[in-house]
Amino acid sequence: MNLFKKFSNHKKNYALIQENQKYSYDYLIKYSKSISKIIKKNSLIVLVSKNDIESIAFYTSCIKNGYYLIILDENCDKKFFLETIKRFKPNYIFYPKKFINLKKNYKDFFSSNYCLTKIDTKIRKINNKNSIILTTSGTTSNPKFVRLSNKNLFNKEH
């Protein structure tokens, strides 16, 4: 988590570049603050991720703000996505608009390309050592989940 505390030391530096558009660390800091005003700490969020600025900014904001993430690829099977939602009962889903129509009221979030949908208001007790849940490759046609802790994410080798 110390990594994210150092963002403020580099506010003017570029953190991300996409299609010749440059995004500073200050952009990530402001993005994170705006998310923290909407989503309660310790929320469980499913992030349907693309390789783009919005997904990366949302991901870093979630880690910085202490949310728990389940990350799914935008190309995942829709049935698997819906089963994951049913199984884990997340508080929110952040997803590309073109990914799925959830037929719920959604809120446009920072971009015309993404939606943030509130699914459940109940904050569940989650092992605070966990940070991210990822799917395995699913070579057996039955993907499993792998849990990563903050310690796993931020372990430094000397």
CATH code, domain with 51: 3.40.50.980
What total of structural domains would you count in the chain?
1
Tens of pLDDT, residue by residue over 101-141, are 776 655 656 567 888 888 877 766 666 655 677 777 665 56
Please state the pTM of the whole predicted model.
Answer: 0.80
**Residue 147 sits in which domain range?**
2-154
Residue 125, C-beta contacts closer than 8 angstroms, at least 6 positions apart: none
Check if the beta carbon of residue 107 is closer than 8 Å to that of residue 115: yes
At 135-147, the pLDDT tens digits run: 776 655 666 777 7
Beta-strand (E) ranges in 19-106? 21-24, 44-49, 68-73, 92-96
